[in-house]
Amino acid sequence: MNCFKKLVLGFLCLFFSLTLVAQVHPGLMMTKENIPAIRKGVLTYPILKNSYEVVKKDADLALSQPIVVPTPADAGGGYTHEQHKKNYTHILNCGIAWQISGDKKYATYISNILLKYAEAYEKWPLHPKRKDGHQGGRIFWQSLNDFVWQVYTIQGYDLAYDAITAQDRAMIEKHLFKPMMTFFTVDCKETFDKIHNHGTWDIAAVGMTGYVLNIPEYVQMAIKGSNKDGKTGYLAQVDQLFSPDGYYTEGPYYQRYALLPFVIFAKAINNYQPELKIFEYRSQLLAKAINTSLQLTYTNGFFFPINDAIKDKTYESAELVYGVDISYADIKAQPELLDIAEKQGQVVVSDAGLKVATALHENKTKPFVYQSQWIGDGAGGLDGGLGILRYGKNSDQQCLLLKAASQGMGHGHFDRLNILYYDNNVEVFPDYGSARFMNIESKKGGDYLPENKSWAKQTIAHNTLVVDQTSNFKGDWQEAQKHPAVKLYFNKEATRQVASAMEAQAYPGVTMKRTSALVKVPSLAKPLLLDVFQALSSKPHQYDLPFWYNGHLIDASFKINAYTNNLKTLGSKNGYEHIWVNADQTLPASGGYITVLNNKRFYTTHFVTDSPIQVKLLSLGANDPDMNLVESKAFLLSQKQAENQVFFTITEAHGGTNPVTETTVGSASVVTELKIRSADDKSVAVSFKVKGKVYDYRINYQDKDNYIQLTNADITK
Amino acid sequence: MNCFKKLVLGFLCLFFSLTLVAQVHPGLMMTKENIPAIRKGVLTYPILKNSYEVVKKDADLALSQPIVVPTPADAGGGYTHEQHKKNYTHILNCGIAWQISGDKKYATYISNILLKYAEAYEKWPLHPKRKDGHQGGRIFWQSLNDFVWQVYTIQGYDLAYDAITAQDRAMIEKHLFKPMMTFFTVDCKETFDKIHNHGTWDIAAVGMTGYVLNIPEYVQMAIKGSNKDGKTGYLAQVDQLFSPDGYYTEGPYYQRYALLPFVIFAKAINNYQPELKIFEYRSQLLAKAINTSLQLTYTNGFFFPINDAIKDKTYESAELVYGVDISYADIKAQPELLDIAEKQGQVVVSDAGLKVATALHENKTKPFVYQSQWIGDGAGGLDGGLGILRYGKNSDQQCLLLKAASQGMGHGHFDRLNILYYDNNVEVFPDYGSARFMNIESKKGGDYLPENKSWAKQTIAHNTLVVDQTSNFKGDWQEAQKHPAVKLYFNKEATRQVASAMEAQAYPGVTMKRTSALVKVPSLAKPLLLDVFQALSSKPHQYDLPFWYNGHLIDASFKINAYTNNLKTLGSKNGYEHIWVNADQTLPASGGYITVLNNKRFYTTHFVTDSPIQVKLLSLGANDPDMNLVESKAFLLSQKQAENQVFFTITEAHGGTNPVTETTVGSASVVTELKIRSADDKSVAVSFKVKGKVYDYRINYQDKDNYIQLTNADITK
Cβ-Cβ contacts under 8 Å, B438 against chain A: 657, 659, 662, 664
Least confident of A188-192, B350-354, B405-409, B662-666: B662-666
Residue closest to B506 by CA, chosen among B429, B401, B623, B413: B413
* Collapsed DSSP state (helix, strand, coil) of residue A369: coil
Whole-angstrom Cα distance, residue A339 to residue B326?
41
What is the pLDDT at residue A713? Answer: 59
Quick one: average pLDDT of B605-613?
94
Q: What is the chain A residue with the closest CA to B310?
A: A659
Least confident of A431-435, A530-534, B349-353, B444-448: B444-448
Element (H, E) at B636: strand B633-642
Work out the burial of residue B358: count CB atoms within 10 Å of its CB; fewer than 13 is exposed, 13-18 middle, 19 or more buried: middle
User: Smallest Cβ distance to A318: which of B310, B441, B661?
Assistant: B661
For chain B, say whether A621 makes contact (Cβ under 8 Å).
Answer: yes
Whole-angstrom Cα distance, residue A517 to residue A495?
10
Cβ-Cβ contacts under 8 Å, B316 against chain A: 660
Biggest CA-to-CA distance, chain B: 86
For chain B, say whether A312 makes contact (Cβ under 8 Å).
Answer: yes
Distances A188 to A106, A126, A203, B574, B618 between C-alpha atoms, Å: 32, 11, 11, 65, 50
For chain B, the residue count is 717
Q: What confidence category does residue A715 fall into, taking pLDDT thresholds of 50, 70 and 90?
A: low
Whole-angstrom Cα distance, residue A579 to residue A596?
20
Quick one: average pLDDT of A450-469?
98
Helix spans in B578-631 (H): none
For chain A, what is the radius of gyration of the CA atoms?
A: 28
Q: Kindly compute the dihedral angle of the four CA atoms of residues B446, B447, B448, B451, in this order, to the nearest 10 degrees.
A: -60
For chain B, say whether A439 makes contact (Cβ under 8 Å).
Answer: yes
Q: Which residues touch A189 (CB under 8 Å, ≥6 apart)?
A: A226
What is the pLDDT at residue A11? Answer: 52
Work out the burial of residue B493: count CB atoms within 10 Å of its CB; fewer than 13 is exposed, 13-18 middle, 19 or more buried: exposed
What is the pLDDT at residue B22? Answer: 54
pLDDT digits (tens, 9 = 90+) for B89-135: 999 999 999 999 999 999 999 999 999 999 999 999 999 998 888 89
Q: What's at A356, amino acid-wise?
A: V
Cβ-Cβ contacts under 8 Å, A630 against chain B: 552
Q: Which ipTM was obtained for this model?
A: 0.91
User: Smallest Cβ distance to B310: which of A437, A580, A659?
Assistant: A659
Q: What confidence category does residue B11 fall into, taking pLDDT thresholds of 50, 70 and 90?
A: low
Of B206 and B134, which is predicted with more confidence? B206
For the cut 70, the answer to whether the pLDDT of residue B27 exceeds it is: yes
Q: What confidence category does residue A661 fall into, taking pLDDT thresholds of 50, 70 and 90?
A: confident
Work out the burial of residue B225: count CB atoms within 10 Å of its CB; fewer than 13 is exposed, 13-18 middle, 19 or more buried: buried
For the cut 60, the answer to whether the pLDDT of residue A6 exceeds it is: no
Q: Point out which residues pair with A418 in neighbouring strands.
A: A403
Delimit the CATH 1.50.10.100 region(s) of chain B: 33-239, 242-369
pLDDT digits (tens, 9 = 90+) for A570-603: 999 999 999 999 999 999 888 999 999 999 999 9
Asked if A422 and A391 count as a contact pair (C-beta separation under 8 A), the reply is no
Asked if B350 and B378 count as a contact pair (C-beta separation under 8 A), the reply is no
Query: Reduced to 3 DSSP states, what percent helix, strand and coil does chain B have, rounded to the nearest 5?
Result: 40, 25, 35
Delimit the CATH 2.70.98.70 region(s) of chain B: 438-716
Q: Which residues touch B452 (CB under 8 Å, ≥6 apart)?
A: B308, B434, B435, B436
User: Cβ–Cβ of A597/B631 closer than 8 Å?
Assistant: no
* Residues of A known to be catalytic: 254, 411
What is the pLDDT at residue A4? Answer: 45
Least confident of A50-54, B8-12, B75-79, B700-704: B8-12
Distances B283 to B245, B286, B320, B382 between C-alpha atoms, Å: 10, 9, 20, 17
| Strand pairing class (B645-654; B528-537) | antiparallel
pLDDT digits (tens, 9 = 90+) for A622-649: 999 999 999 999 999 999 999 999 999 9
For the cut 60, the answer to whether the pLDDT of residue B9 exceeds it is: no
Nearest CA of chain A to the CA of B655: how many Å? Answer: 11
The backbone torsions φ and ψ at residue B187, rounded to the nearest 5 degrees and listed phi first, read: -60, -40
Residue closest to B575 by CA, chosen among B432, B409, B453, B474: B453
For the cut 50, the answer to whether the pLDDT of residue B3 exceeds it is: no
What is the pLDDT at residue A516? Answer: 98
Cβ-Cβ contacts under 8 Å, A54 against chain B: none
B156-184 burial, b at 16+ Cβ within 10 Å, e below that, comes to bbbbbbebbeeebbebbbebbbbbbbebb
pTM of the shown model: 0.93
Nearest CA of chain B to the CA of A451: how many Å? Answer: 13
For the cut 50, the answer to whether the pLDDT of residue B1 exceeds it is: no
User: Smallest Cβ distance to A626: which of B318, B560, B657?
Assistant: B560
Cβ atoms within 10 Å, residue A19: 8
For chain A, say whether B477 makes contact (Cβ under 8 Å).
Answer: no
What is the pLDDT at residue A665? Answer: 86
Class of domain B242-369: mainly alpha
Cβ-Cβ contacts under 8 Å, A634 against chain B: none
How many CA atoms does the CB half-sphere of B63 hold within 13 Å? 21
Nearest CA of chain A to the CA of B108: how many Å? Answer: 28
User: What's the CATH number for B33-239?
Assistant: 1.50.10.100
What is the pLDDT at residue A22? Answer: 54
User: Cβ–Cβ of A631/B627 closer than 8 Å?
Assistant: no
What is the pLDDT at residue A615? Answer: 97
Whole-angstrom Cα distance, residue B427 to residue B421?
6
CATH 1.50.10.100 holds for A24-241: yes
What residues 443-462 of chain A have any CB closer than 8 A to a CB of chain B? 443, 446
Least confident of A5-14, A334-343, B673-682: A5-14
Whole-angstrom Cα distance, residue A591 to residue B124?
45
User: Which fold would CATH assign to domain B438-716?
Assistant: Beta-galactosidase; Chain A, domain 5 (2.70.98)
For the cut 90, the answer to whether the pLDDT of residue A7 exceeds it is: no
What is the pLDDT at residue B291? Answer: 96
Quick one: average pLDDT of B493-498?
94
pLDDT digits (tens, 9 = 90+) for A508-561: 999 999 999 999 999 999 999 999 999 999 999 999 999 999 999 999 999 999
Residue to substitute from B662, B665, B669, interface A, most A β-carbons within 10 A? B662
Q: What confidence category does residue A1 fall into, taking pLDDT thresholds of 50, 70 and 90?
A: very low
Quick one: average pLDDT of A150-163?
98
For chain B, say whether A61 makes contact (Cβ under 8 Å).
Answer: no
For the cut 70, the answer to whether the pLDDT of residue A714 exceeds it is: no
Cβ-Cβ contacts under 8 Å, B312 against chain A: 659-660
Of B537 and A438, which is predicted with more confidence? B537
For chain B, say whether A624 makes contact (Cβ under 8 Å).
Answer: yes
Whole-angstrom Cα distance, residue A581 to residue A569?
6
* Residues of B known to be catalytic: 254, 411
User: Cβ–Cβ of A437/B626 closer than 8 Å?
Assistant: no
Quick one: average pLDDT of B632-658?
96
For chain A, say whether B316 makes contact (Cβ under 8 Å).
Answer: yes
User: Cβ–Cβ of B667/A442 closer than 8 Å?
Assistant: yes
Q: What confidence category does residue B716 fall into, taking pLDDT thresholds of 50, 70 and 90?
A: very low
User: Cβ–Cβ of B437/A621 closer than 8 Å?
Assistant: no
Classify residue A459 as left (phi > 0), alpha (psi -120 to 50) or beta.
alpha
User: Which fold would CATH assign to domain A373-716?
Assistant: Beta-galactosidase; Chain A, domain 5 (2.70.98)
Delimit the CATH 1.50.10.100 region(s) of chain A: 24-241
